[in-house]
Amino acid sequence: MPSSHLILCHPLLLLPPIPPSIRVFSSDSTLHMRWPKYWSFSFSIIPSKEIPGLISFRMDWLDLLAVQGTLKSLLQHHSSKASILHRSAFFTVQLSHPYMTTGKTVALTRRTFVGKVMSLLLNMLSRLVITFLPRNRIRGYFGETIALYFGFLEYFTFALIPMAIIGLPYYLFAWEDYDKYVIFASFNLIWSTVILEVWKRGCASMTYRWGTLVMKRKFEEPRPGYHGVLGINPVTGREEPLYPSYKRQLRIYLVSLPFVCLCLYFSLFVMMIYFDMEAWALGLHEDSGSEWTSILLYVPSIIYAIVIEIMNRLYRYAAEFLTSWENHRLESAYQNHLILKVLVFNFLNCFASLFYIAFVLRDMKLLRQSLATLLITSQILNQIVESLLPYWLQKKHHVRVKKKVEALKADIDATLYEQVVLEKEMGTYLGTFDDYLELFLQFGYVSLFSCVYPLAAAFAVLNNLTEVNSDALKMCRVLKRPFSEPSASIGVWQLAFETMSVISVVTNCALIGMSPQVNALFPESKTDLILIVVAVEHMLLALKFILAFAIPDKPRHIQMKLARLEFESLEALKQQQMKLTAENLKEECREGGKEKAP
């Protein structure tokens, strides 16, 4: 049974406890917390809903040894210090383990405690990815969902290194031989399958250690935004909002679907404007032939890449509004419909121009140029928008707060006031959706047209090395810590990456079949060429699915441990049932003896 323990030096107002948490309002008091050695913890600071102007401090105690080093450093740092909790601090303390009497008693101020932990985590996360990320410590502080994202980012970066190493000679030695491109594309097709299957195994190993691999699916309650006429749920027997499913379907098919199609049409319209700009720049360069006009050839692609990012972000807001308006009862249904809307639009918006260049214009030079420009520009924009811009805005706000504090004449703790205001203005982390979406699009740039631009993997590696640092900066310095969520895998994104790898087989086979060297082998009959390309594509897809089937999703030792766990659970259940049966028989015999007695 979860419990909590607080030692209070001054009288406090205790609010009604909400198991498994205790809420305490502290007014110029010292709050001591006792914890066992090597317990791990995580916490976040958010504005208090109960008391305006105060801060809610949530501390979630997790499993043993998850962030042992961080906890040990904190204990050593504060073992000889006694800090006073300043006034206006609203705390929520939650423990998930029974209280143990052994340990140390430490008094910490909110500012010192938070600053120490965040500095430790930022230092660990800001290292280069090739030094391995502290996944267990990330999990101990941020939870399994974010730890899995950082684990996947690290793994994906390592997986891209062989592709980058093999692709570099194509650029350094200017290899234009299509035979070499065929070799690279074939390697890419096998690579995209193997890395996704190996990730499943690594993910299973991680989540088994964390105890979430066999996490039971909870009965989903209605999501907060769900509304309808109050009625009785026939499953739970409780009163909750009820909304007819046919109304939801009408909203999806009569409003959401036409809107998505309209957005897709608008994306294609913008794409045609981009090609008009490309034709104008090319004509200008052919007329003058100067160096300035050669630079001008890249301007349409850069402008188009910026427009793509703007359209993706605007569409994201519209998709969220539409999905909320559809009034889905469950959070899982809401997320699935949102992901489907966003993935369809982002895929078409980012890759439609490349497909048009490859299969309609058949201009491989323009395809290579456009792919490089779109990839590099999108990576730079994502780094700026997601991390650098919020960090700059926070620093700017920090300067304004300092000036405001210096101008105050009142008798207040300026340091505490400054910290409270800064934490209040920190942004809210909206989840890993955008982070996975960025990796998904990057995977598309690398795999879809690998036989045309092998250097894409090298740019992806460089981007991901900086992505670790920017994400660490974002999570530890710019945004509030989100509440931890248990997770057994990366969810629907695994299916999205696998779908992209299947599409990459088709596109690479088609590009190779369109090459002049392959066409020269069938000068008279194009039908034979098409049939051979389709046959090769089917063979590669078959090989892909055979590899996916041959590589187990869980390592052998994990399968054995899970089987052992299931066996022990069944044996324990049998023993419990036998014990209950024996007790029932004894009770019946005892009652029968009493009835026979005169």
Which is higher by pLDDT, 120 or 79?
120
Domain identity same for 202 and 331: yes
Residue 272 has a pLDDT of 92
Which is higher by pLDDT, 23 or 72?
72
- Maximal CA-CA distance, the chain: 122
Residue 409 has a pLDDT of 54
Residue 318 has a pLDDT of 93
Q: What is the total count of domains within the chain?
A: 3
Convert the pLDDT of each residue in 44-69 to its tens digit.
Answer: 334 444 444 333 333 333 333 333 34
Q: How confident is the model at residue 470 (pLDDT cuts 50, 70, 90)?
A: confident
Mean local confidence (pLDDT), 82-86: 30
Domain identity same for 480 and 564: no
Residue 71 has a pLDDT of 39
Mean local confidence (pLDDT), 248-254: 92
Domain identity same for 481 and 352: yes
441 neighbors 350 (Cβ within 8 angstroms): yes
**DSSP, res 18:** B
Percent of all residues in the chain with a pLDDT value above 70, rounded to a whole number: 71
Convert the pLDDT of each residue in 361-411 to its tens digit.
Answer: 888 888 888 888 888 888 888 888 877 777 787 777 777 777 776 666 555
DSSP H or E segment with residue 55: strand 55-61
**Residue 53 in domain:** yes
Domain identity same for 91 and 189: no
Domain identity same for 250 and 312: yes
* Long-range pairs for 412-416: beta carbons < 8 A, 24 or more residues apart: 413/86, 415/111, 416/86, 416/88, 416/111
In terms of Cβ atoms closer than 10 Å to its own Cβ (0-12, 13-18, 19+), residue 193 is buried
How crowded is residue 494: how many other Cβ atoms within 10 Å of its Cβ? 16
**Average pLDDT value for the chain:** 73
Domain C-terminal end among 125, 158, 181: 125
Which of these ranges, 104-113, 175-184, 369-378, 552-561, has the smallest mean pLDDT? 104-113
Whether pLDDT at 162 is above 80: yes
Domain identity same for 138 and 64: no
Q: What CA dihedral angle connects 545, 332, 21 and 76, to 10 degrees?
A: 40
Compute the distance between CA of residue 390 and CA of residue 213 in angstroms, rounded to an integer: 35
Mean local confidence (pLDDT), 256-284: 91
Domain C-terminal end among 104, 125, 146: 125
What is the CB-side half-sphere exposure of residue 107 using CA atoms within 13 A? 14
**Residue 310 in domain:** yes
Domain identity same for 466 and 322: yes
Bridge partners for 247 per DSSP: none
Residue 290 has a pLDDT of 73
* Long-range pairs for 3-10: beta carbons < 8 A, 24 or more residues apart: 3/95, 3/98, 3/99, 4/93, 4/94, 4/95, 4/99, 5/33, 5/34, 5/95, 5/99, 6/31, 6/32, 6/33, 6/93, 7/32, 7/33, 7/34, 7/105, 8/32
**Residue 560 in domain:** yes
Q: How confident is the model at residue 417 (pLDDT cuts 50, 70, 90)?
A: low
**Residue 394 in domain:** yes
Domain identity same for 523 and 568: no
**Residue 515 in domain:** yes
Convert the pLDDT of each residue in 522-562 to its tens digit.
Answer: 777 778 888 888 888 888 888 888 888 888 888 888 888 88
Q: How confident is the model at residue 474 (pLDDT cuts 50, 70, 90)?
A: confident
**Residue 1 in domain:** no
Whether pLDDT at 239 is above 50: yes
**Pairing state between β 55-61 and 41-47:** antiparallel
Whether pLDDT at 354 is above 70: yes
Mean local confidence (pLDDT), 210-225: 76
Q: How confident is the model at residue 263 (pLDDT cuts 50, 70, 90)?
A: very high
Domain identity same for 332 and 406: yes
Range of the domain at 30: 6-125
In terms of Cβ atoms closer than 10 Å to its own Cβ (0-12, 13-18, 19+), residue 68 is middle
